[in-house]
Amino acid sequence: MVGIRYDWQELEIRAIYNTPLLELIYQAASVHRQYHDPTKIQVCKLISIKTGGCPEDCSYCAQSSRYKTEVKAEALLEKETVVNIAQKAKETGVSRICMGAAWREVRDNSQFEEVLEMVKDITAMGLEVCCTLGMLTANQARKLEEAGLYAYNHNLDTSQEYYSTIITTRTYSDRLNTIENVRQTNVTVCSGGILGLGETVDDRVGMLQTLANLHPHPESVPINILSQVPGTPLENQPDVPIWDIVRMIATARILMPASDVRLSAGRARLSQVEQAFCFMAGANSIFSSDDNKMLTVTTPCPDYDSDREMLNLLGLGMRAPSQRQEKVASPAVVG
């Protein structure tokens, strides 16, 4: 079995990324089969529990209050509404509910208490629950753990070197600090990035190196494809070629073999054949929807019926929720 490493060097990662494509897919598929059931895909549902009005300046984001987009600020959803969405998702085979709030950071107030109640109720349904709420203190991470949270999402987005080109209202260190605060609990980490921000191959390699040298690796690594939102600074970015997407998925799979690699935002523009290549390269999770949007109307998402049809066509089944396990000693570093 290929060992898990935390000492990846830039030149090694670049060599993997630049491997001839079909050979790269084969290598990634071989690694994937050592750590995962290749016949199972986890289907997730992302719910925007607090939409719009975010004070940050992330250049890609439709929810920033700094840009004029079709997304308008809304109040926090009622708990009953969120739980009902989760229940309907569960009935379709979804095993992971992700709740996103357009906040810069979590504040210790009544809204956070309401989110904690949402986590408790949806966890009690037997689903994995992930939250993405912005920056998080160690104490807030512990409260989420006590509520039963399974995972916390905090993407790096891109490389440390390119980061300030995309975002100026928080630092790369801020993101890593939030991940470290989550690591002080039994909540798993979900962290990945976005393709199509204008980054170079060096930036893609740099982001993967940061993720792959975290110890332990993020249990979940989303690979997002930019949705070019009118009104944002990145609205005119070109589409990312499918083979760049496949290369990133395959490289992430080889570097972080035990992690779930999630084909996330932007999947709606990929054909079934293109998605099949992503699954061959090691992606083992998708986001599906009841309303054809992933988080907001600016990010289209395939619906439950079309995704079920695709999975059936490919002979793939929906993965059940994982059972929470207490932390054990980390595996030895393989040099």
Catalytic sites, residue numbers: 54, 58, 61, 98, 130, 190, 262
| Residue tagged 């390699």 (tokens) | 205
42: Cα within 13 Å, side-chain hemisphere: 28
Tell me if 131 is assigned to a ligand binding site: no
Q: How far apart are CA 217 and CA 280, in angstroms?
A: 21
Question: What is the radius of gyration, based on Cα positions, of the chain?
Answer: 18
Structure-block tokens of residue 189: 């980490």
DSSP H helices, 109-171, are: 110-123, 138-147, 160-166
Give the separation between CA 300 and CA 288, rounded to whole angstroms.
10
Give the helix/strand (H/E) hosting 314: helix 304-314
**Backbone phi and psi for residue 313, each to the nearest 5 degrees, phi listed first:** -60, -40
The answer to whether 44 is annotated as binding is: no
State yes or no: 301 annotated in a binding site. no
Half-sphere exposure of 13 (CA within 13 A, CB side): 26
Other CB atoms within a 10 A radius of the CB of residue 52 amount to 19
Residue 143 CB contacts under 8 Å (≥ 6 apart), including other chains: 112, 116
DSSP element (H, E) containing 212: helix 201-212
Q: 3-state DSSP helix/strand/coil percent for the chain, to nearest 5? A: 40, 15, 45
CA distance linking residue 47 with residue 212, whole number of Å: 28
* 58 assigned binding-site residue: yes
Binding positions for [2Fe-2S] cluster are 98, 130, 190, 262
Binding positions for [4Fe-4S] cluster are 54, 58, 61
Binding positions are 54, 58, 61, 98, 130, 190, 262
